[in-house]
Structure 1
Amino acid sequence: VAENVCPGHLPHSLLRLRERGVTVVPHGVSLGLGGADRPDAGRLTALAERAEALGSPLVTEHIAFVRAGGELTASPRLEAGHLLPVPRTRDALDVLCENVRIAQDALPVPLALENIAALFSWPGEELTEGQFLSELVERTGVRLLIDVANLHTNHVNRGEDPAEALAALPVEAIAYVHVAGGFERDGVWHDSHAHPVPRPVLDILTGLATRVAPPGVLLERDENFPEPAELVRELAAIREAVAIGRARGRAAERTAVRGAGGAGAGGVGVLARPVAGVRERLGVAQTAVLSALVAGTPVPEGFDRVRMGVQARALAAKRAGVVAKVAPELPVILGAGYREAFLEYARRRPMRGGYRQDALDFAGHLLKLGRPQDARARRDLREWWLDRSGPAPRKRGLLGRVLRRRGGRSH
């Protein structure tokens, strides 16, 4: 993840991979190219610096919005902390195309964009995913990072046919491919990156490979790592899925009628339109959606309230998990009550400045309420908040001291 890398202090693991000839690609998650605002110049500069520091042949981002509000809509700025789907409308496509061109001009290497997994759909969409991606490529020349696991997620959650999306893709634009695992709960597929790759995802990969030899396939596994032998089996299954698809593709090519011409999605010929007013309309719509998800305001008309509730809970759970990683002292201090307390806090309080600020805001909120009730825990929390709320931590080893005071136990 690009935002987790400091160009001047590359992790030793990445340096070792580069020494072994492994290509390292910065994978951005915070540009929000599908948002109503123009891309932030500082974020683009940071992404460019990471590409240069890693000697990367390209950088990747997502077709998503991650924030809304602000000056464009004269409303408070809201951060999602996660990738949210853009409406597949002409307006949203116009804004996305202009944002992509701005990003391409600022980056030193080619840009590839990933299709995301979504838990909800926008009402009144005008294009399928395949049409949306195809026209995006035609109008900008951007490359694609196709995540076949996300196609499966959208099949389960939104009823979209992965084969239809694959058929419309401009395969010549594919930079590489992602596969990942997930799990289903109450009829909703969650793209976890922490579970084995299921057979339906491998089947979609095979379907893609019948049309094109993927330049590369990357297995996304962010946590809950299996034993090496299990990982080897999973990688072998991915290779086999590609090999089966390539064999089928070659067989189809041998039997195809020569000179029939391709059916591709090219030739749309859509001209760029002025997007000034379009940005405002899109901004208002995205702000209403994000406010419903992170601030408890009413769900906009036309959206599935159940799915919006699932998305809101997923965003809060992700916040809780990431805050626990960037501020590991908090789960130790609060013990088993950490998660419940954080979800209660997050229900109507959006992030206002990233996860570290979120951790500080959460701790400050609890202290204002006189919580936790245990005096020692409250003292530890106050000490942590005072230590972290300044420009730099005043003390080192706070987590170790808290653990020692609590007998070395972490919840």
Structure 2
Amino acid sequence: MNGERIGVGLNFRREIEDDIVAHLERLDLIEVITDALFVRDDVGEALRHVLRTKPIVLHGLRASLGAAEPLDADYLRATLEMVERWQPLWFSDHLAYSRIGGLDIDQLMPVRRTRDNLRRIVAKVRALRSAAPVPFLIENITCYFDHEGEELAEPAFINAVLREADCGLLLDVNNLYINSRNHGFDARAYVDDLDLARVVEIHMAGGYCRDDLLIDSHGHRIGRPVWELLEHVCERARPRAIIIERDANFDIGDVLESVARAREILAASDRRVGAAALAGART
């Protein structure tokens, strides 16, 4: 699944669109929420400028891959129209469900990890892949409760979707860290159990603690443990891109610092790979 390295960018937000345009030379790519494009005939001059000048990726919110019902035909058609129109490098959505009985619930809910759900999700991802001219990625989400009756561990479930649907992984490092803290598992061991050759993109974001529960907010600085987990991932995977997500408490200076730090981590991992290859060639 890996290809040419793109670099580091951020998610497009209209609240800071002028700042994004002003600092576009410091960004390698931009991620755009697919759903935000559905409701506007005119995307606006700032986003239009971004679309003309930078590589983009599209990120969806409501494919509801884990729902019992089939893919929503209208949502699928609108998504594919945006893919055709804007020609992203790839597009993605969450390994979750957000629709019940045809009604949107405005939340990304975790999927019970059963073999029946696995088969259903694989069929949906295959349908998305076959209908689109660019690759499709699935993203891990935050989960604040446990399902009963899980048949597969989460890394095994994700790996099975990746393998059987032949898609890529958008690894959200902050989501993984939050889940590891809230549910008491080893985040690094989880990473090591994933098929890291499938990692195409990484999300980095911040959160906060409330009543001993970590919350994914996309509105706070990225914490040191999340950066350390990214380093662990990049020592083992070759992501094409890292996106810094910020959806509230906007501070373009902080966001650009995060972009620079992520770029340094990628460069350090590239140096290690190069040094190891050189050492191997000499033996």
Deviation at 1:253, TM superposition (A): 6.7
Give deviations 1:287-338, integer Å, cap 9, x for gaps: xxxxxxxxxxxxxxxxxxxxxxxxxxxxxxxxxxxxxxxxxxxxxxxxxxxx
Local SS of the residue matching 2:80: helix
Deviation at 1:246, TM superposition (A): 4.3
Q: Which has the higher contact order (CA 8 A, sep 6+)?
A: 2
Contact 2:246 2:255 (C-alpha < 8 Å) held by counterparts: no
Deviation at 1:210, TM superposition (A): 0.6
Contact 1:39 1:103 (C-alpha < 8 Å) held by counterparts: no
Aligned to 1:39: 71
Distance (Å, rounded) in 1 between the aligned partners of 2:181 and 2:277: 31
Distance (Å, rounded) in 2 between the aligned partners of 1:255 and 1:116: 39
Residue 215 of structure 2 is aligned to residue 193 of structure 1: no
Distance (Å, rounded) in 2 between the aligned partners of 1:250 and 1:168: 24
Residue 91 of structure 2 is aligned to residue 66 of structure 1: no
Contact 1:44 1:106 (C-alpha < 8 Å) held by counterparts: no
Aligned to 1:283: none
Match of 1:30 among 41, 62, 74: 62
Aligned length: 247
Give the TM-score normalised by structure 2. 0.80
Aligned to 2:155: 130
Aligned to 1:50: 82
The structure-2 alpha-carbon separation of the partners of 1:245 and 1:140, relative to structure 1 and needing over 3 Å to count, comes to same
Aligned to 1:18: 51
**Structure in which a larger fraction of residues adopt strand:** 2
Deviation at 1:89, TM superposition (A): 1.9
Q: Which residues in structure 2 correspond to 1:256-405 (within 5 Å)?
A: none
Q: Once superposed, what is the RMSD of the aligned Cα atoms?
A: 2.1
The structure-2 alpha-carbon separation of the partners of 1:239 and 1:94, relative to structure 1 and needing over 3 Å to count, comes to same
Q: Match of 2:52, as an amino acid?
A: E
Distance (Å, rounded) in 1 between the aligned partners of 2:189 and 2:152: 12
Distance (Å, rounded) in 2 between the aligned partners of 1:121 and 1:250: 41
Deviation at 1:12, TM superposition (A): 1.8
Aligned to 1:356: none
Aligned to 1:83: 108
Give deviations 1:36-55, integer Å, cap 9, x for gaps: 11101111110011112212
Range moving further from structure 2, 185-194 or 104-113: 104-113
Deviation at 1:251, TM superposition (A): 6.1
Unaligned runs of 5+ in 1: 71-76, 257-411
Question: Rg larger in 1 or in 2?
Answer: 1
Residue 266 of structure 2 is aligned to residue 234 of structure 1: no
Aligned to 2:5: none
Q: Match of 2:208, as an amino acid?
A: F
Aligned to 2:36: 4
**Structure in which a larger fraction of residues adopt helix:** 1
Q: Which residues in structure 2 correspond to 1:207-246 (within 5 Å)?
A: 207-228=232-253, 230-246=254-270
